[in-house]
Every structure is written in C-alpha cells, then in structure tokens.
Structure 1
C-alpha cells in the first residue's frame, strides 16, 4: 500500500528525484528550498554542474515571491544508483526522458527499492495506466506533471487514473501545496493531460501559420505576449471570454461566437457541435466559476491584475513592458520652474496596501524618482552614471501628512536646499493635483560618489557650477 510516511516534529522530509535535467532540476530546487532533503540520481556526468546552475537561479528567484522567509534549505546529495536515491524517501519524483521503455525500467527499480513512497511521474504525455504496465502494484505511480520553471510556476497536473488510491492522491496534493504548488487533479486519463493539449493546439496552428508564410515565429510570439497571453495569465480562457460577452456573460459570448467554430479560421476543424445543451453546460460552469462577481467587478479585477503584470514586465523591459517603456519615454517630462517639478503621475493600484492607501515604501519610490529627475536636470543622469560618477542617498526623512490612494494624480515640487562640496540637500513636497493638498514631504541628503572607488568625491567643475546655479535659483 503506497503511503506518505510521517515524520517526528523537526525531522526533515526526504525526496528523491530521478533525472536531474531541466524538469528534474526544477523539482530538486522546489523541494530543497522548501526545507526537504533531496537525493538525486542522474547518470549524466555533467548532472551536478547543470543542477548547480538551476539551483543558482532558483535560490535567486523563488524567495523573492514571498514576504516571509522560506524554511532552512534542505540537504542535497547525489546517489550512485536509483535504489540508493529512493531508499527511505518520503516522495519519489521520476523525471527521466519521455521514452516509455525507459520509464518502465526506472519505475520498476524505484518500486523494488521503495514500495511505500508515492511515485510521481513528470511525464507530459503518458497516462498512468501506461506507466504502471508490468509493475507489481497498480497504485504505486501517478502523474505529477509540472511546468518549467518548476521552482516558480505552481501548476502540477495530478492524474491518478483507474486503480489509484484516492487517499494517497489527496495526501500527495497536501505535500505539493506544502511546497507552494497548485495540484490540479484531472478526473480521467487522457493523452497529454489538459495543459499540454491546449498548448499543442496552439503550437500546431502556429506551425501552419509559419509554413503557409502568414507569420514568422517572432510575430506569433508577439501576438501572444502583447495580447491574450497577458489575459490568460490571470483569468484563463473561459473567464476571459465571459468578460468578452459583456453584461450577457458567457451565454452571450457563446451565442455570438459559437457559429465561428464552423468557419475555416484554423487548421483544427474537428470541433464539438455547439448545441443548445452544450452551450447551456458551458454557461452553467462559467456561472459556477465566477458568477459571484458581476461583469464590471470582473473587469475591474482584470484591469488591476493587468496593471500589476504590465508594470512588472515594464520594470524588466520585457514583452509588452518594453512597449510601455518606449511609450513612457515619449511622454511629457515634469516641468521646469522654481521649485522644480520632478514628478507628475497617477498612483498605480499595486502601490496600495491592505488599508487602501499608498504603502510607505512607495513614498520612498516617489521621492527617489524626484531625486533622479533633479540629477537628469543637472546632467547627472544615466550617461553620467555610465561614466563612473553618481550621487548616493545617505539620509531620507519623510513626513506622511495625508492618505494617498490609487488613481490619484500627484506631483512633486523639489527645491535644492544646499550644495556644499560633495553634499546635495533636497526638499520634496508631494501634493494631490486635484486640490493642492500636501500629502507628504521629504528631506534628502545625497553625496557625490566615484563608482570606481565607491567612496565620496567632489563633482567635476561643470556639474558643481550647475548645482550652485540651481541652488541659488531655489534660494
């Protein structure tokens, strides 16, 4: 009988990962960084080097998702055989290449050495009944199919199939949730499960678009990441279409676009007939999925999510975020004058906290941006930094005077309060554009630094003169 063994409090759980490639390495990282000890077996002589690279990425990225510290990292070991790796393991994850004969051999070795631990297979296409062929027990293996990078993406498709122990599947889901993953239990066996079938359909159509000279690979990728990929990331397929139906919801969408399924828009023309009963079934499931929210509420949720996603992409200059960056650069910069207008913007929704107003750290962001605007005005912007010189902030004092909420338009007026040698003192005043209310003030001390030595230094004569002139104007 397969089981997940219990441990005494404080005793580390132990996972065995067979196959340390891209997917196996991701599993190692996911377990290890969540406090599990992990034993790995992979006959590739380069396995340890390759796994080190995956772990380096995971150690840098995974903790950034959390506001609290992850558990103390588990111990990693490399075994010389499958049997050595799985003996005593509480969980075994098979992640060898997608060859059924190879999986059969490896799974038989695992079962011979540890018949009690659950054995999850990372297979993207095989059904559990195919994996179990020739095994002593038909309940010892199930599909646990993750997505790359395993250490960041939460989805795991769980397929037990006929003969699976429901209790073991339930406990396996508990384990996966315990390491920050989302187990999606698939109710029936099917080749390629759910997600890869959807991906395969898009992939097939994309290949035809390239083959027929309609689009390049780059154009297809842009169509995904600039549009529906962003919607899918936070609402999936059906909820996206529910909103597309407007106030009529999914029922209206199906009625309007259902006939398109019979049109030769794609190469994939084997589609189910959109009968009244089938349309009603889809509508009912959509109501159960998200009917608790009105279409307008769903739209507002979608928009908040898209703002957060797009702003994250903008920070990295990737995908649609690159478009935002380029457009941002064309917009009017804050004005001149005394005091100097250094920031003029709308407060984004992802800057607010559980109290509904702007988080303290974001005030720091606003005043940091204001200081950067002063630097740009003085000619000490990115080009100056690239030359090896910069200003570092050494002291900031912020006074929070009034609440600042998402969607409000704010502006910052900045004065140069002092410029003595290496030091530059700034005073920022943030106000609400609608009524001129002062929301916060900030006193900031910056010091000129030589980036080569990382020590304070005097600015060059040209910059020093521009600073003195600005300080005199603001005095």
Structure 2
C-alpha cells in the first residue's frame, strides 16, 4: 500500500487527503491548526458521499488516516508528499526544507501552488529534482485535472512516475510544456475574472447575471468540449480556419478591457488550425455536433435532478409543459376515476438507450417508478406529506418487457389501482407508444412511518383519495399479465 503525506490540511490539502485515502492510500497529515482534523473530516464526509457515485465499480478499501505533530513524522516513509501551505514563498521554502530533511530522496514532492513557478519553489532546495508543481482544482476529490509543472532541474523520471500515480488516482495530469506564472488554467480564469470585475464596476451586469451567462451558456459547452473544439464546431464544415477567418478580426474590436491580443498572422492561423485538426480531425463536424448534443443533454439532465443551474431552468420549463397536458395535478382533477390515469407523458431521452439501441431495462423501471411517484402525488402523498413523516415504500415490482422503445419515442404510462386500503396499495402501469404496448409494471406498496421505518396507516385524506380509485375500478376485469411470475407462459 502506498503512503501520502499531506502538509497543510486546508480545503485543498483536505481534498488531496480524500483523493488519496478513498483510493486506498494511507494518508499522514501535518497541520498545526488545532481544527485541522475537524476540517478534514468535513471534506472526507463530502468525498465519501460523492466520489463513489462517479464510478460503476467499487473503490478500494480506504487507507489509514493519521495526524502527526511534525513534518518529519508525517513524511517519514511517504511515497508522495503534497505541500498545500499558504501562498507565501518564504513559508513554502521553509516547508520544503523541512520536508527534504526527513523524506526519502526518491519521494515525490508536489506543490498545490496556484501561482508560484516550480523554479521559485526549488530555490535553495537540497534536492530540487524531486520538487514539482501538482496544481489541482477544487474539489480535488472529484475534479480530475492536475497541472504538472517541472523545470530543467526536475527529475524527468520522477515526473513520469508522478503522472502515472495521478492516473492511478483517477486524475488527468496535464504536463505543461514550460513554466509560467499561474500555470495554464488559472490564466483563463484570471482573464474571465478581470473582465467580470469590469462588467460589474461599469454597471453592465450583476454578479448573478454574469454567473447565469456562464452556467446557462458557454460554461456547459466548455465542460464537455473545451474552447478550441467548441470553436471548431462553430466553424461548420469548413472547420477552424473558417471560424478564425470569420471571427478573428473581432478580437481587434473594443469589446473587452483585455485588448492585448496576438496578431492573426497566417502563421498563427495555420498553427491553430493544424493543432485543431490533430485534436479533432478524425471526427466530422456532424459527429462532433452529435457528441456535443448528447453530452449537453446528459449534463443538463443531471443538473435537473438537483434543480441546479441550467437544470433548474429545465425543471421550470417541464412544469409549464406538464400543466399544458392532460396530466392531472390532483386526484380531484381526475373526472373519471374508473379510467386508467395518465401518469407519465414524455420522450425517451438519449441516455436511456443502451448498446442494443433501445431503452435500457433499468429505464423501464424508472418510468414506472415515476408513474408510481406521480400517482402518490395525486392522492396526496406529495413532498409536503413525506416531509411530515409518512410515505409509501415499494415492496414488490414485476415488469414485462413486451416491445422496444427507442430514443425520441413519446411514451405514455397509464395507471390503474388494483387494490388499496389500510397500509396497502397495488398499482398496475401500462407503457405505450401510441397504441403499441411496450411494457407493463406491477407495483405493490406499503405505507410506512419514516420515523420508525415500519408500516403505518396513511392520513385520512390519502385513504379517501385512494379509496375513490379502488371503488371506481373494482368491477373492471384484471389486466392481462397481472400477478404473473417470471418465466410463466405468455
């Protein structure tokens, strides 16, 4: 098992500790702050909640986390030492000196510095070759990028080894070709930040409006395609050269406070166009557009599930669209309780399809689960009721997959109540695309107290609403397939 020493346990240091620990490394921490353990525990709680959800395979068993009174104790025997002390060069020089006095000569010393160049960190060092910048992005335990920067004095074999170890942590090391103040990514952020400050100062926009411009627009595109590939697509079939010819001259216009831009010489255009071809030339513009759209849909749907950013806009639009359909808002809106109730009306999204090109079996369950949730809301088991301590838990589910559904298909789920009363509710769902039956779902639920997690009687209002459907549908014949066991003849 490998061992990492974390020198400085603030937000970044704590994030590094979580990244190493949850990937099976032993972690030793030195930080003179008496609150360091509490602060790192808070970061670890967030990491344990979120990081495993990124993967479809379990993380290794956590390593052992220990706290130490001195740097020497923390770095003794460590394979990787990550310095994350305050951004003051004198403090960093003293910290590196203390580290090298006690650590192994072949240990990696990475600095989280966002501003200092590695040559500055190596000044006066006993062994400059083992010192490099490994600049992460917050939250370190989730975001993969690490800027790796060395100098001519840095041991190249150690840099290669460090990048391999970072990949083993699920990170993406970006080796900078030369050292430069603030490295690479923060220089972009600094340019955007400066322009934003001017826009606020000049009364052009508020901080919220600027954030909305980023998170509802180009920020989502950048998240999955970066800057140059986004502009390559914007150039259409003619690609990057066409984009630069069309929009390059605009850089000379007085749009921004940051006016020092390179001349658009033929050499620069050819350089950028050639690099863009190397980056994305193996894909057509149509392929890039489809990839972009698929990625945008997946990210925005994920944001919608958290009612955040662009996802919150989708949620609001969805509510408006739902109000314009025959989807009932309350049980009282259902004028004919004897008829199956429309509980889902939606299109099959791109990310619901699988390697066979049709809707994944898990998404049938999701659609029927959404139908159950919708019916629960209709009878009064809504968010407010659940917050008061009562809800329905699904005890049994049976799904019959009858026909295929493909991306873009508009599906309806209609729901019948086969039984209900007291703590029980028995629902039957049928999923159709037009008249074509795609699947059926049978759900048996029990009402429970969320305090005791045991069956309990629902409220009188829910009982009355559910009984209305039960009585109205009691004389109808049982649907085909109800109560069917797996493998029974069709």
Match for residue 316 of structure 2? 326
Alignment of 1:367 onto 2:368: yes
Retained in 1: the 8 A contact 2:447–2:456? yes
For residues 371-423 of structure 1, what are the alpha-carbon distances to aligned partners after superposition, in whole Å with 9 as ceiling and x for unaligned? 12222332332333334332221111111122322222111121111224322
Superposed displacement of residue 360, structure 1: 2.2
SS of aligned partner of 1:38: strand
SS of aligned partner of 2:321: coil
Name stretches of at least 5 consecutive residues in structure 2 with no aligned partner. 328-333, 477-490
Q: CA RMSD in A?
A: 1.5
Superposed displacement of residue 323, structure 1: 0.9
Query: Normalising to structure 2: TM-score of the pair?
Result: 0.91
Retained in 1: the 8 A contact 2:380–2:461? no
Match for residue 404 of structure 1? 405
Match for residue 158 of structure 1? 148
SS of aligned partner of 1:142: strand
Superposed displacement of residue 334, structure 1: 4.5
Alignment of 1:31 onto 2:20: yes
Match for residue 55 of structure 2? 66
Match for residue 100 of structure 1? 89
Retained in 1: the 8 A contact 2:421–2:466? no
Question: For residues 349 and 211 of structure 1, do their structure 2 counterparts lie closer, same or farther at Cα, with a shift above 3 Å needed?
Answer: same
Retained in 2: the 8 A contact 1:147–1:153? yes
SS of aligned partner of 1:373: helix
Alignment of 1:225 onto 2:220: no
Superposed displacement of residue 41, structure 1: 0.7
Match for residue 265 of structure 2? 275
Distance 1:454 1:33 in 2: 31
Match for residue 284 of structure 1? 274
Alignment of 1:194 onto 2:184: yes
SS of aligned partner of 1:126: coil
- Size of the alignment, in residue pairs? 462
Retained in 2: the 8 A contact 1:341–1:414? yes
For residues 51-99 of structure 1, what are the alpha-carbon distances to aligned partners after superposition, in whole Å with 9 as ceiling and x for unaligned? 1111111111111111111111001111111111111111111111111
Superposed displacement of residue 31, structure 1: 0.5
Retained in 1: the 8 A contact 2:3–2:25? yes
Alignment of 1:47 onto 2:36: yes
Retained in 1: the 8 A contact 2:130–2:158? no
Match for residue 118 of structure 1? 108
Question: For residues 468 and 113 of structure 1, do their structure 2 counterparts lie closer, same or farther at Cα, with a shift above 3 Å needed?
Answer: same
Distance 1:37 1:371 in 2: 45
Distance 1:110 1:388 in 2: 54
SS of aligned partner of 2:82: strand
Alignment of 1:446 onto 2:435: no
Alignment of 1:377 onto 2:378: yes
Distance 1:95 1:452 in 2: 43
Query: Normalising to structure 1: TM-score of the pair?
Result: 0.94
SS of aligned partner of 1:418: strand
Distance 2:208 2:149 in 1: 34
Q: 2:11 aligns with which of 8, 22, 29?
A: 22
Distance 1:220 1:459 in 2: 47
Q: Which moved more, 1:75-84 or 1:330-339?
A: 330-339
For residues 315-371 of structure 1, what are the alpha-carbon distances to aligned partners after superposition, in whole Å with 9 as ceiling and x for unaligned? 111111111111111113444662211111011122223333322221111111111
Distance 2:422 2:34 in 1: 59
Alignment of 1:302 onto 2:283: no
Retained in 1: the 8 A contact 2:421–2:463? no
Retained in 2: the 8 A contact 1:132–1:141? yes
Alignment of 1:182 onto 2:172: yes
